A and B are shown apart, each in its own frame.
Chain A
Amino acid sequence: MQEVPHMADAVFLALSVLTIGSAIAALEVRSLIYGSISLMGTLGGIAGYFLLLDSPFVAMFQIAVYIGSIAVLILFTVMLVRRQLIFIKVEDKRRRYAGIGLMLIMMVSLGAIILSSGIKTIQTDAPPVDFRTIGQDFLMYYWPALILMALILAASVIGALTLARREDIEDDLRTS
């Protein structure tokens, strides 16, 4: 993975191992509950990268939204699903090898493209963006998108509640 010519430092290396390792574990661990816990590890590692990139606001947002709500939501859903469904794992062996091959081809080809492009020379000494600028962006220029996003979130919550309603139980209650 670390094909870069210079020595990456220990924090970055540790974060890479955490993020990529727990991403693999999230997909490969047999139990879905441990899988969702290692998905939390991936999301936390990404938040760590955001901190390294001097964007603490996005990192805090990532922790609050992803680890705080999405991962917990997934965990609760996994626990609600019947137990026998969680552990059974039927997979086609050939499909799996083809998937691994696809993954390696993508990694190597995209990595080769990136490494042969001029991206390696990009460096910056500019000061990091202040989070007040992000707030100004949101409120001055992107406010229609902000309102639209709020509506989308409300619609998705209402949609999820409507989908999860048990009509059979309601009919039973109404008739009895």
Chain B
Amino acid sequence: MTYELVDFVIVSIALLAIGIYGVAVKRNAIRMLFAIEIIINAANLNLVAFARYIPNSQGQTFALFSIAIAAAEVAVGLALIIVAILHSPCDYCGTERKL
């Protein structure tokens, strides 16, 4: 292998930090969904990287499970966002939360 494990882990940490920034700062539901996707992808990258360097097949298996569950989560999350937008005349979901 020409690459080292620590490279992938550092990229994964960077993605995790960016995702946490997005979840903490953004007031837009769709953007928060983006940030959650970025965090999930950082986790998947970690799983596959450690599985490659141990080496073990089960990390890849678990990453595949994780990708499929993330697909389900996005489908339900987007449906919830659409319902929130349709049922609220105020712009709760699109712009800002009125405190």
- The residues of A with any CB-CB pair to B shorter than 8 Å are 1-4, 6, 8-9, 12, 16, 19-20, 23-24, 26-27, 32, 35-36, 39, 42-43, 46, 49-50, 52-55, 57-58, 61-62, 65-66, 69-70, 73-74, 77-78, 80-82, 84-86, 88-91, 95-96, 98-100, 102-104, 106-107, 110-111, 114-115, 119-120, 122-130, 133-134, 137-138, 142, 145, 149, 152-153, 155-157, 159-161, 163-164, 166
Contact = CB atoms under 8 A, between A and B. Distances in A.
Q: Kindly list the 6 A-B residue pairs having the minimum CB-CB distance in the complex, ordered from nearest.
A: A85-B94, A99-B25, A156-B72, A160-B79, A103-B21, A163-B79
A78 B81 CA distance: 10
A122 B49 CA distance: 11
Interface of B: 1-11, 13-22, 24-28, 30-31, 33-35, 37-38, 41, 44-45, 48-49, 51-58, 60-61, 63-65, 67-76, 78-83, 85-86, 91, 93-96
